Amino acid sequence: MVLTLTDLTAPQGFQRLVLAQDPQAGLRALICLHSTALGPAAGGCRMWAYPDDEAAIHDVTRLARGMTYKNAMADLGLGGGKAVIIGDARTDKTPAMMRAFGAAVDALGGTYWTAEDVGISPADMAHAAEATRFAVGLSGASGDPSPWTAEGVFRCLRVGARHVFGSDDLTGRRVLVQGLGHVGMSLAEKLAAAGARLILTDINQPALEAAATRLGAQTCAPDQVFDQQIDILAPCALGGVLTDDSAQALTARLICGAANNQLAHDGVADALAARGITYLPDYVVNAGGIISVASEIHGHPDAWRLDRLTAIAGRVDQMLARARDTGRLPAQVADEMVAAMLSPRRAA
C-alpha cells in the first residue's frame, strides 16, 4: 500500500478537502469535511465514474454540505462530510481498493465517519473497516441503511400528502418513483402496500419490468418522467433532476424522494412553488439512512432509530406549517431551522 493524502483548496465555508491516492490499490478518492460544528463529520462513500476531477469535486462538496444540513436537522450530534471514489463500481472496485480507502479514512483521525452510498455495499464497507474503525453500516451492526432511508421518505411523503391533498391516504394517488435502487425499490413496495397507483422508471430495463410485474405498476422510460400525469414525484436516482425545464413540465403537486441534491440550482424551488408544487427538501426527508448509521456510531438501539424517524416526520410537519403561515418556501424554512442549529451558541 502506497497511500498519499493531499489537502486541496477547500471551497469557502468548508473545513477540508482531501485527495487520497493509492496507485497499487487503484484508489483515487476525495474526502470532504464541510462542518464538524455539531460533531465528527459523517456521510457515505459514493463510487462513480466521474468524467474528470472537477465533476468529482463538485459532487463531493455538494454532498458534504447536504450531510451537514441532514445531520443537523435529524439532531444526530454529527457534522457533515462525504467521500467519492473515482471509478466504475461494476468493473474497477476491489477489496484492496476499499481497504486503501479505509486507511485514508483512518488517517483523518476520527474527524470523518464513512458508510455506504451509491456503488458501495455493506460488503465493501466491511473491507474498508479492516483498515479503520470509522467505517459503519456493517452487516451484523446497523447494516444496509437503505430500508431506513426508504421508511423515512415514506413517512415524510405521507405528511406532505396531508398538507397538499388534505389526507395522508395514498389510495389511488398516482406516484412516480424515479430510480429502483435499494432505496427506490423499498419505497415503491411501501407505496404499493399503501394503495398508490405506481409508475416506475429506471435505466435497468429488466429490473424495471420485474418490479412492475411484482408490484402491479406501470412503467415509463427515464426520459419520459416529466411527461406523466401524476400526483407525487419521488426522485430516488441521482441528483439534479429538477431543472428549470422540468419544473415547468411537471404535473405533480408534491415532490418527496430519496435522491440527494435534487434541485439543479436553488432557484428551481421558486419555479416549482410558482406552479403550486410543494418540494420537500431532500436533506430533510432522506435522513433515515444516516440515522441508522448514527445509531451504530453512537451505540444506540433500534428504538432510537425509530424515534429519530418519527422526529423527522414531525419536523416536516412543522416546516410545512411554518411555510404556509409565513408565505415562504419549505426549503427556506428548513434552511433557517438548520442555521439555528448550527449557530455557535446552539452548537456549543
Catalytic machinery residues? 82
184 appears as a binding residue in the annotation: yes
Helix, coil or strand: residue 21? strand
Helices of type H across the chain: 53-73, 95-107, 122-129, 146-165, 182-193, 205-215, 244-249, 267-274, 282-285, 288-298, 302-326, 330-342, 344-347
H or E element, residue 79: strand 79-86
Q: Is 118 annotated as a binding residue?
A: no
Could you give the 3-state DSSP secondary structure of residue 23? coil
Contact 293, 270 (CB under 8 A): no
Residue among 178, 120, 119, 118 nearest 153 (CA): 178
- The dihedral of CA 170, 232, 196, 70: what is its sign? negative
Annotated ligand binding at 77? The verdict is: no
- Is 26 marked within a binding site? no
CA distance 87 to 107: 22
Report d(CA 294, CA 262) in Å as an integer.
23
Distances (CA, A) of 271 to 178, 205, 227, 246: 21, 32, 18, 10
Residue 316 is labelled as binding a ligand: no
Neighbours of 166 (CB within 10 A): 8
Four-point Cα dihedral 256, 257, 258, 262, nearest 10: -90
Bridge-based pairing state of the strands 27-35 and 79-86: antiparallel
Q: Please, are residues 225 and 201 in contact by the beta-carbon 8 Å criterion? A: yes
Could you tell me the CA-to-CA distances from 97 to 4, 7, 33, 40, 125 in Å, in that order?
13, 20, 21, 24, 11
> What does the DSSP assignment read for 249-280?
H---SEE--S-SS-BSSTHHHHHHHHTT-EE-
Consult the annotation and say whether 183 binds a ligand.
yes
Binding site for NAD(+), by residue number, is: 179-184
Binding site, by residue number, is: 179-184
